[in-house]
Chain A
Amino acid sequence: MAGDAKTSRAAVWPGIIALAIAAGYLIALLAVEKQSLIIALLAVGIIVVIAAAWFGLLDGVSHAFSDHEDALGGFAILALLAVGAFFHEDHFVLLLVTTVLLYSVATLGLNIQFGYAGVLNFAGASFFGIGAYTSAVLNAHTALPHLIVLLIGGLLAALIGSLLLLPVLRTRGHYAAVVTIAFALLFKTFLEVNDVLGGPQGMQVKGMTILGWSFNDNIEIGGISLSFYMNYFMISLLLLIGAFVVVRRLERSWIGLNLDALRLDETAASCFGLDVVRWKITAFLIGNFLIGVAGAMFGMVGSFVAPNNYTFADSLILVSILLLGGIGNPWGLIVATFIVVVVPEKLQTIQEYRFLLYALLVIGVLLFRPEGLLPRPVRRYFPGWQP
C-alpha cells in the first residue's frame, strides 16, 4: 500500500456502522418473543452476513477494526450500553446479556490457554464452577467484601488448576486433553457425591453487595426504575472490558509473542531459549484465573449453583465458542459467545438440542472453515504495518 502511515490507515466508519447494525440487530432479536419472528430474524441475519462477505463489505470492517481498535472498542462499549439501556426494565434480557458478558470473560481466559499458548483445557466449565462455588460458600459463611470474593474465586480456580499442572506439563496434545477431561468428570462427580457443597441439589448464592449497596434491589433514578440486573450488567461489563484489555495487551506484548512461538513449535521455541514450562504455567494460571473470576461473578448473578451447570458438555460449549469465533481472536470470541448463548435461549425449541447442535456446528467448522468465523489476523508489530 502506497503513501505514508497516515493515509494507509483504513477508514473507521465501516466499523462504527457494523457495530451500530449489530447493536440494532441484537436489540431486535432480544426484544422479539414470537418464535416464527425470531427464526425469520436469524435467517435475515445469516443472509445479510453472507451477502456482506460475498460483496466484500466485511473487509472494510475488519480493516477498520485492526487500524482503530481502541476507538472501536469504545464504540462497542457504547453499543453494549445502548442494548442495556433499551432493556433497563427487563430482568430476563439483562440476565441473558450479563451471562454473555461473563461467558466472554471465561472464553477470553480459555483463549489464553488454547489460542496463545496451545495448552489444552477441556475443563473450562469446571474452573468456572470453582469460581461460582467459591462465591456461594464465601458469601454464605464469611463477611468478606464481595469484590475480594471475586478475586478469591479466580485465585482458587488457578490454585486448583495448578494441581493439574504436573500432568498437563508432562504431557502433550491428546494426553493433556485427557487429563483435563478426567478432571472435568471428576469435578462434577465430586460435587454430586459431596454433602458439604449441597450435593446434586446445589446451593443458593447471596447476591452481591458493595459498600452497603445491595445489587439485588431494583434501582430508582429520577422516576425511572431499572432492573436490579442492571447492577450486574454494569459490573460484568467492567469485568469484560478489564479482561479484554488484559488479554489484548498480553497478546501484543513479548509475552504473547513467546506464547505464540510456544504454540507453533515447542521444540523450536525452546531451542531459542524460551522457557516452555514457565510460559505454559503462566498461560494456564492466568487463563484459569479469568475463568474463575467470571465464574464467581456468575454465581452471584445466577444466585444459584448446582453440579449440572458445570458438566463436561458445558466445557465443550466453551471450546465450541472458541472455535466458532476463531481461536486467538478476542473480538470473534465475543461475537461467538453472543451467538452460542443467546440463540438457544431465544429459540426455545432448540434449547434441549443445543449440545448436539453446537457439536455438529463445530464439526462443520473444522471440516470447512477450520480457522473459525472470524479468523485471527496476522500479528502486527507496528501500527499501520502491513505484513
Chain B
Amino acid sequence: MDVGLFAQYVMNGLMLGMMYALVAVGFTLFFGVLDIIKFSHGDVLTVGAFVALATFAGLHAAGFNSQLLDLVIMLAVATLAMAALGMLIARYLVMPLRSAPALNTLLITLMLGTVLREAVRLFYPQGANPKPFPALLPQNSIDLGSLNLRLDNALMLAAGAAVIVGLQYLLNRTKLGLAIRAVAQDEETARTMGVNFTAIVLVTFAIGSGLAAFAGVMNGLYYNEINFGIGLYLGVIGFSAAIIGGLGSIYGAILGGFLFAGLQTVGTVLLPFASAYKDVFAFAVVIAIMAWRPTGLIQEKISERV
C-alpha cells in the first residue's frame, strides 16, 4: 500500500473517530451525572442534523447565499435546539423515573429514540428517503503527492478538536465544570455543598445534546447525505466507544471513539469482502468488544454493595 492511500485511510478514520468521540462524550456525560444510559442520544443527533437541514432550506428560501453565514447559523440553530430538547428530555422523561427500576429508564429513552426517529421519517418532507446535505465548506483539495487532502475534512477535524478542547476547558477550568464533576462523583455531597443538582443535570444534558447536534451536522457535511437512521447507527457505535473507554471518563470516550474508528478502518482495509459488510462488521465489533471487555479498557473501580 502506498503512503498516499494509507494517509487517506488515516484521514477517513480520524473523521469517523471525531464523530464517534463527540457522540461517546455525550453518553459519558449523562452517565456521569445520572448514572443512566440515554438511548435516545443517537436520535437526538438525527434530529439535530435535520434541524440544520431545515434551517438551511429556510435560509436558502430567504435568499441568504453566504456559505459561511449559512453554516454558522444552521450550526447554532441545531445546537441550541438540541440543547433545549436534551433539557426537556432530562426534565420530563429521565428525572421523573429516577426512583424507578433502571429498566424503565432504558425503555423510556429507547422508545423516545423511536419517537424521534419516526417523527423525522414521517413528518419531515420525504423524510423516509436519504436527503442530500449541502456542501457548505470549501471543496478544494490539496494534493500532497498521492494524498488528496480535502480542505473540508481538515476544517471539520479542526472544528471537532476545538469543540473537544473547549469541553475540556469547560469541565476542568470553570465553576460549572467543577459542579458537573462534583455531581458525577457524589450527588449527595454535591447537594450539601450547595450545588443545584437539577440545574446541573439539565445543563449537562444540554451540553451533551448540543454536541450530538454538532456531530450530526458534521456527519451530514462529511457524507453529503443524511437519513433518519444515522442516529441509531451512530448511537450504538458511540455507546460502544464510550464503553471501550470506560463510561464516565471523558478522555476514555474520546479515546474509545478513535479506537473504534481505527478498528473499523483497519477491518475495511484488511477484509476484502468488508466493503459490502462494513456495517455488519462494525456491529460485530461492538458485540465482540462487549464480550471481551464489558466494562471498558479503563476499568471503573467498583465493588457491589450488598
Chain A residues engaging chain B, CB cutoff 8 angstroms: 118, 120, 122, 164, 166-167, 170-171, 173-175, 177-179, 181-183, 185-186, 189-190, 193, 267-268, 271, 312-313, 316, 319-320, 323, 352-353, 355-356, 359-360, 362-363, 366-367, 370
Contact = CB atoms under 8 A, between A and B. Distances in A.
B115 A178 contact: no
A90 B93 CA distance: 44
27 contacts: A118-B103, A167-B291, A170-B294, A173-B106, A174-B36, A174-B37, A174-B39, A174-B102, A174-B106, A175-B290, A177-B37, A177-B110, A178-B243, A178-B286, A182-B287, A185-B232, A189-B277, A189-B283, A193-B276, A267-B304, A267-B306, A353-B118, A353-B122, A367-B93, A367-B96, A370-B100, A370-B104
Contacts of B290: 167, 170-171, 175, 178-179, 182
Contacts of B104: 366, 370
B114 A186 contact: no
Contacts of A182: 236, 240, 283, 286-287, 290
B233 interface: yes
Given A170-B294, A366-B97, A366-B108, A355 B114 contact: yes
Contacts of B288: 167
A178 B280 contact: no
Contacts of B96: 367
Q: Interface on chain A toward B: helix, strand, loop, or mixed SS? A: helix
B280 A186 contact: yes
A311 to B, nearest CB: 10
Contacts of B279: 185-186, 189
Give the interface centre of A181, A271, A360 by most chain B CB atoms within 10 Å.
A181
Nearest to A367: B96
A304 to B, nearest CB: 21
A183 B100 CA distance: 27
B118 A356 contact: yes
Interface residues of B, number: 41
Interface in B234-251: 236, 239-240, 243
B233 A185 contact: yes
A355 B118 contact: yes
A319 B103 CA distance: 12
Nearest to A172: B294
A81 to B, nearest CB: 35
A316 B93 CA distance: 18
Interface in B89-106: 93, 96-97, 100, 102-104, 106
Nearest to B233: A185
B107 A366 contact: yes
A92 to B, nearest CB: 25
B250 to A, nearest CB: 19
A107 to B, nearest CB: 15
B72 interface: no
B79 to A, nearest CB: 25
Given A167-B291, A175-B290, 16 more contacts: A170-B290, A173-B106, A175-B294, A177-B106, A178-B286, A182-B286, A182-B287, A183-B283, A185-B236, A185-B279, A186-B279, A190-B280, A316-B110, A352-B122, A353-B118, A366-B108
B121 to A, nearest CB: 9
B102 A359 contact: no
Nearest to B123: A356
Given A122-B110, A186-B280, A193-B277, A173 B102 contact: yes
Nearest to A312: B232
A302 B103 CA distance: 34
Interface in B7-35: none
The 5 closest A-B pairs by CB, nearest first: A186-B283, A167-B291, A359-B114, A356-B118, A174-B37
A112 to B, nearest CB: 16
A122 B304 CA distance: 26
B68 interface: no
A175 B280 CA distance: 19
A349 to B, nearest CB: 12
Contacts of A313: 114, 118
A189 B286 CA distance: 14
A326 B144 CA distance: 63
Contact of A319 (B107, B286, B294, B306): B107
Contacts of B107: 319, 323, 362, 366
Contacts of B100: 366, 370
A250 B89 CA distance: 39
Contacts of A167: 287-288, 290-291, 294
B28 to A, nearest CB: 13
A170 B102 CA distance: 18
Nearest to A179: B290
Contacts of A271: 306
Contacts of B36: 174
Contacts of A179: 286-287, 290-291
A281 B290 CA distance: 17
A319 B107 CA distance: 9
Give the interface centre of B106, B107, B236, B284 by most chain A CB atoms within 10 Å.
B107
B282 to A, nearest CB: 8
A320 B118 CA distance: 15
Nearest to B243: A175
